[in-house]
Amino acid sequence: MFAVVEIGKKQYIVRKGDVLDVQKMESSSENIAFDRVMLVAGEKQALIGKPYLEGAQIKVKVEGQKKGKKIIVYKVKKRKKYRRKQGHRQNYTTIKITDIVSTLPEVRQNLAKKPEADKISAKKTVPRKATPKKSTQKTKPDKSKK
């Protein structure tokens, strides 16, 4: 089962147990629930919100804060002796998805069902007959005309 959730103006595809680095969040608690769930899907069925599903939540545990890789911003204007070097490190919050919860009864029923083995009927494929190629030879104009 997976879901598409909006966290900090970005959309993430999440499964239970995933660890994500999202934009820095200021929260005092370790457990947070996000309710901006756009899609919840199981093996065979998916429910899509317009734009969000009512009653669906993603429960996460905050694992810590960290900084990302350093990015160098270097500005140059040729022939003007203008050079500026600046570094930037983005702050991230590491979260772990603990549960995907939906209070909608049809979501819980449909996603709780285990999918049955698909019975694929073998279809006979009929080979196509090869069509003969048309000759595409062009005739050259005569240069012997005077």
Domain ranges of the chain: 2-112
- Per-residue pLDDT at 44: 81
pLDDT tens per residue across all 146 residues of the chain: 899 999 999 999 999 999 999 999 988 789 999 999 999 998 888 889 999 999 899 999 999 999 999 999 999 999 999 999 999 999 999 999 999 998 655 555 555 555 554 445 556 677 777 777 777 777 777 677 65
- Region of residue 143 (left: phi > 0; alpha: psi -120 to 50; beta: else): alpha
Is the previous residue joined to 51 through a cis bond, with omega within 30 degrees of 0?
Answer: yes
- Give the span between the Cα atoms of 94 and 25, in whole angstroms: 10
Q: In terms of pTM, does the model score above 0.75?
A: no
pLDDT at 116: 53
For 22, phi then psi, to 5°, come to -115, 170
Q: What is the pLDDT of residue 70?
A: 97
Residue with tokens 């734009």: 51
